[in-house]
Amino acid sequence: MRTFLLLALITFSIKSFSQLSPADKKYLQSSERKVSDYALEIIRGYSPEQRVVADSLFTREFVKLLKTNYSYYYPFDSVITVSILYPPDSSFRIFTWQLVVNENTVRQHGAIQMNTKDGSLKLFPLIDKSATIQNLTDTITSNKAWIGALYYKLIPVKAGDKNIYTLLGYDENNLRSNRKLIEILTFENNEPVFGGNYFVIADGKLQPKPIARYIMEFKRDAGPRLTYDNDLNLIIMEHLISESNEPDKKYTLVGDGDYEGFKWNNGRWNYINKIFNEVTPQGKPPVPNLILDDAGNFDESKMKGGEPAPKKSPKKKN
């Protein structure tokens, strides 16, 4: 299956790139350096003003390039600080990036570019409204009221004949906490919809009510994992506990080395409260290193490291 997907991707890339006329290809290649420099300045700018100006310039120039006929087929490989994800059906691609205004204010930006038959630009800007949405976990939104994140993984699944695109994302939330999230993307009437009734949590312990997306919020310098295991076909996430026994204070939550997750079945992501639950036989790979002992005591000596922030360019898969 992996070999087939790789060959399909190579074939698509060769065929796709040939859609561009030589003149348009040359234009995009010569202009890509400029937008790449702006994108780097969004990250490296010394002052908030420099970063904000770079973000504005990048957005304006990038949209100009996307207006080039059949620009969908141009990879923008050198724009390494922008995440670019494609589904296997190549019906669209999604760009996301972030702007750190200051240590307590981070804005996410993005856009969805559709793959149109005539090569014209059909673009949905993603407008981050996280700060104004009261219930982030249960609100279904459009691209105009997006819950911002830097996406690092796209998981295609189906509910009947409907394509469901599950996105894993990262958000440098504020001074005290960061977030990772499992987002749902679908298309209704040819327009993007974020969130949906695609989660089943039977015991109600993880979330007290139905959710439209799953959000992990945790201590800023913690690194709990949220990833997808292709072999197990599972979304795997590290279980969170409070360092101070105050679970309602999200900025106290850290990963405890135990793992829970979601498995796609019958058109829903079904919650699994414990993934690694077998004793490791001698000579086999170890189970996760728990930071709680059998008596429930917190072992700070095991709080060393965690999953790093996702790479800025998912083209180099993490």
Mean pLDDT of 178-196: 97
* pTM as predicted: 0.81
Instruction: Fill in the amino acid letter for 2.
Output: R
Residue 259 pairs in a beta bridge with 238
The Cα–Cα gap between 196 and 189 comes to 15
- The mean-pLDDT minimum among 208-222, 233-247, 297-311 falls in 297-311
Give the pLDDT confidence of 152-161 residue by residue, as tens digits.
999 999 999 9
Residues in the chain: 318
User: What tokens does 298 get?
Assistant: 């917190």
pLDDT band at 27 (very low <50, low <70, confident <90, very high): very high
| DSSP result, 139-154 | --EEGGGB---EEEEE
> Exposure pattern of 184-212 as b/e (b: 16+ CB <10 Å)?
bbbbeeeebbbbbebbbbeeeebeeeebb
Is 5's pLDDT higher than 80? no
Lookup: tokens for 201? 């949590």
Q: Please choose, from the candidates 150, 119, 110, the residue with its C-alpha nearest in 3D space to the C-alpha of residue 17.
A: 119
Q: What is the C-alpha separation between 141 and 110, in angstroms, rounded? A: 15
Tell me the average pLDDT across 214-228. Answer: 94
Please return the burial class of 108, using the count of CB atoms within 10 Å of its CB with bins 0-12, 13-18 and 19+.
Answer: buried
Give the mean model confidence (pLDDT) for residues 290-298: 45
State the residue for tokens 């201590």: 219
Amino acid at 139: T
Instruction: With a cut of 70, say whether residue 148 has pLDDT above it.
Output: yes
pLDDT band at 299 (very low <50, low <70, confident <90, very high): very low
Written as six digits, the tokens of 312 are: 């800025």
The fraction of the chain above a pLDDT of 70, given in percent, is 80
Distance CA 195, CA 200 (A): 14
**Region 241-257: what's the mean pLDDT?**
94
What per-residue confidence (pLDDT) applies to 293?
A: 47
The chain-wide mean pLDDT, for the chain, equals 85
pLDDT band at 52 (very low <50, low <70, confident <90, very high): very high
Provide the pLDDT for residue 280: 41
pLDDT the model gives residue 209:
76
Residue carrying the six token digits 């120039």: 61
Identify whether the C-beta of residue 168 lies closer than 8 Å to the C-beta of residue 151.
yes
The domain ranges of the chain are 23-127, 129-312
The reported pLDDT for the residue numbered 122 is 98
